[in-house]
């Protein structure tokens, strides 16, 4: 029995070493390299096959400098206005969400752009404690090893923006017939309005609710100002 537990301990030890080593290496590599595919993309392809549909996966990586400056500004305004101030977790937003839920209000998420990026790139959609714990781990890693601009760049290239559509360039081509760089301020706000549920809200066929949300986001964009270019994190936070 003693030998069994010793061997089990050895297996657990090397499993943990392999996990932490490979995860840190992946985060370091993705600091510089495009993310070619994410777990959610693979899951959606599997769902399409299960539903008897053709596989649809539109995803074209472009650098942040080739994306309209209004798009990072729009998602910053709509998804995480404290993005440049926090270190991965917005504890004020979490507290507000908990208080609102306890008062019987609507349930709303408090995930930051950093958390969403960690989940999209390295994990799978789930509400289990294991997945949430791993999300915390990967969020800390990317906040430590990536700049805010790199997190935004990966987010805008990897997030789901429609049925089989992932990233800024893909949604620009599919829904607006232009490149991500040519997206207008209004189009960027409309895309941001879909992000809570891009399979329900369609930026190509916006509802009246989405137009109202677009107006709100554009107002918030004016209040926030421009999203800082690479190297300006500290200046923006001061």
pLDDT per residue over 79-132, tens digit each?
999 999 999 998 877 777 676 656 665 544 579 999 999 999 999 888 889 999
Where would I find the H helices in 59-90? 70-79
Q: Could you tell me if 26 and 63 lie in one domain?
A: no
Cα(230)–Cα(238) distance, rounded to whole angstroms? 16
Residue 46 lies in a domain: no
In a domain, 107, yes or no: yes
Local confidence band at 217 (pLDDT 50, 70, 90 cut-offs): very high
Domain that holds residue 137: 58-237
What rounded mean pLDDT belongs to the chain?
90
Report the number of distinct structural domains present in the chain.
2
In a domain, 39, yes or no: no
Give pLDDT tens digits for 46-74. Answer: 999 999 999 999 999 999 999 999 999 99
Domain for residue 24, yes or no?
yes
Same domain for 14 and 105, yes or no, is no
- Is residue 123 domain-shared with residue 223, that is, in the same domain? yes
Same domain? For 140 and 101 the reply is: yes
pLDDT band at 13 (very low <50, low <70, confident <90, very high): confident
C-alpha 20/C-alpha 14 separation (Å) is 10
Long-range contacts of 172-181 (CB under 8 A, 24+ apart): 173/58, 173/60, 174/58, 174/204, 175/202, 175/203, 175/204, 176/203, 176/204, 179/62, 179/66, 180/62, 180/66, 180/67, 180/68, 180/71, 181/62, 181/66, 181/67, 181/68
- Whether 27 and 127 map to the same domain: the answer is no
**Of residues 94 and 17, which shows the higher confidence score?**
17
Instruction: Give the CATH number of the domain where residue 123 resides.
Output: 1.10.3810.10
């Amino acid at each position: 029995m003693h030998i069994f537990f010793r061997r089990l301990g050895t297996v657990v030890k090397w499993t943990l070493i392999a996990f932490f080593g490979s995860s840190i290496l992946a985060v370091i590599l993705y600091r510089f390299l495009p993310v070619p595919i994410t777990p959610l993309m693979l899951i959606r392809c599997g769902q399409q096959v299960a539903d008897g549909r053709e596989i649809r996966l539109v995803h074209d990586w472009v650098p942040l400098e080739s994306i309209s400056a209004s798009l990072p500004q729009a998602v910053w305004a709509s998804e995480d206005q404290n993005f440049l101030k926090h270190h991965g977790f917005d504890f004020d937003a979490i507290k507000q969400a908990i208080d609102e839920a306890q008062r019987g209000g609507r349930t709303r998420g408090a995930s930051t752009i950093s958390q969403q990026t960690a989940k999209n790139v390295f994990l799978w959609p789930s509400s289990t404690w294991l997945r949430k714990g791993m999300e915390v781990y990967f969020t800390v890693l990317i906040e430590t090893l990536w700049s805010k601009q790199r997190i935004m760049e990966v987010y805008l290239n990897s997030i789901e923006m429609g049925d089989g559509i992932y990233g800024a360039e893909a949604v620009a081509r599919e829904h607006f017939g232009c490149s991500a760089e040519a997206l207008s301020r209004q189009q960027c706000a409309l895309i941001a309005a879909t992000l809570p549920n891009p399979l329900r809200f369609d930026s190509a066929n916006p509802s009246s609710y989405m137009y109202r949300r677009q107006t709100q986001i554009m107002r918030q964009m004016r209040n926030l100002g421009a999203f800082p270019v690479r190297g300006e994190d500290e200046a923006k936070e001061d």
